[in-house]
Structure 1
């Protein structure tokens, strides 16, 4: 198991270097000049321009800039925001809990609904129930996030007035953050109604963000279950007279979970990408909205560092998924 772990960790090194090169190159292809942004509307004279260019390291050749950038990253320095003058890592860590809270709720919802729906569709293959589940999953997968989010806001926030439109909690509640997770902090605050307000603000963004992963997990679960249900050991278990729930839940589902876990792990990248639109629609103060605002403000340090940090999170999640393979199916370790 240790060798398996070290091999997977070793694969992260070239991946991380490749992502850093892409982030470094991408940010320099964006239009605009960060030095002119620093100068503001009044502009800057050539001498001052050269001074700012040297202070940011933009006066050096691109290979030297990249090497210096890589050295800074390895020491934990992801740059400083041009707009707020704060370290990019500090801003990321401040806003990341909001995105994690939203993504965790979304993936939990997608898993709790998607896996049973896929199992049910596989067991009832060819029936109207199977067609209904897969048809709904196809609609959910094809639905644009921004359109789906606006529809839910119009219906539940505008017409029915059941849920808030945006934000993480009502403005009437104020308490210092402890964990960064609003549901937990609202409980710790002891303020009456704070948890309910935080939960109501979380409902619509969670549904919107979970829609596509839910559809993918349901379809993948159905496909994996259909393949496993045709195996000899499942037919043997049925021939022994085992209850259908035991055959499906213990023998079939456990072996079908490996591709499903792969799918769930890959959905982390989808969740972080979808969070950009979801957080923008619902004014959710997470890293998605932070990145969008930084692009519009031409805050190159934030965009560059944010891309690398998000990619690092995705790589760590993929590593965890690989390790789960080895725990569920020991043959994969060999």
Structure 2
């Protein structure tokens, strides 16, 4: 177990360097001068422009800039925003709870619906439910997030007026942020209707963000269950007279969950990527919307630091998922 853990941690170092390299050069491929965008309509004299270029290090050779940036990252300095003048690390984690809350709700939505649907589809292979589920999953996986979000807004917020269009909570409620998670903060605030308002604002973004992971998890669960249900030990369990629930829910599902958990771990990156569009459409004040705003403002440090922090979190989540394998199936040996 420890040998596997050390090997995985060793892979984090080159991955971290690669991510920092991509983040550094990717933003610089976009047109636009960050100094001129920061100045806005006021304009800058040539002297002032040269001074700001030197202050932010943009007048140095590109590889020298990257070497300095990588050195700062190693020391834990993710830079300071050109626009807000605040540390990127501080801005990121001030907005991070909003994205985590949305991502957790989306993943719960995907797992709670996806795993049971995949199990039932595998047990009833070839039935109308099986074919319907696979067709629906394919449509859900192929559906563009921005189109799906706008469609739900038109139907449920526009026509039916059941859900809010944007934001995390109604402007009628105001209370101090204790945890950063609106559902928890609204609940402990004691204000009547605050929790219901926060929950209603989460419905559409959760469905939109969780649709693709739901489709992937359902298909993966069905595939894994079909493979496990054909094993000899499942036929033996049935021959012993065990109940269908015990055969499917205990013996089959437990072994089928290993690839499913891998899929769930990989969906963390999909959730973060999807959150960028979802948060922008629903004006959700998380890191996705913050990243989009930073890109438009050519805020190099914010974009670079945000990408690196997101990549680090995805790597940590994948490492945790790998560690969970041994808890689900003790026969797995990470030391091989």
* Bin for the TM-score computed over the shorter chain: over 0.9
Aligned match of 1:59: 59
Q: CA-to-partner distance for each residue in 1:136-170, whole Å, 9 max, x for gaps?
A: 11111111111111111111111111111110000
Aligned match of 1:258: 258
Distance apart, 1:63 and its partner CA: 2.2
Distance apart, 1:253 and its partner CA: 0.6
Aligned match of 2:187: 187
Native 8 Å contact 2:38 2:297 kept in 1: no
Native 8 Å contact 1:53 1:59 kept in 2: yes
Distance apart, 1:74 and its partner CA: 2.1
Aligned match of 1:311: 311
Distance apart, 1:54 and its partner CA: 1.4
Q: Distance in 1 between matches of 2:66 and 2:292?
A: 24
Aligned match of 2:290: 290
Aligned match of 2:119: 119
Matched, 1:300 2:300: yes
Matched, 1:81 2:81: yes
Q: SS of 1:30's equivalent? A: coil
Q: Distance in 2 between matches of 1:121 and 1:310?
A: 35
Native 8 Å contact 2:220 2:259 kept in 1: yes
Aligned match of 2:214: 214
Native 8 Å contact 1:88 1:302 kept in 2: yes
Structure 1 segments, 4+ long, off by >6 Å, are none
Aligned pair count reads 334
Native 8 Å contact 1:27 1:300 kept in 2: yes
Where does the alignment leave 5 or more consecutive residues of structure 2 unmatched? none
Native 8 Å contact 1:277 1:288 kept in 2: yes
Aligned match of 1:201: 201
Q: Distance in 1 between matches of 2:328 and 2:227?
A: 18
Aligned match of 1:177: 177
Aligned match of 1:137: 137
Aligned match of 1:104: 104
Aligned match of 1:2: 2
Q: Distance in 2 between matches of 1:192 and 1:144?
A: 37
Aligned match of 2:332: 331
Distance apart, 1:34 and its partner CA: 1.1
Distance apart, 1:274 and its partner CA: 0.6
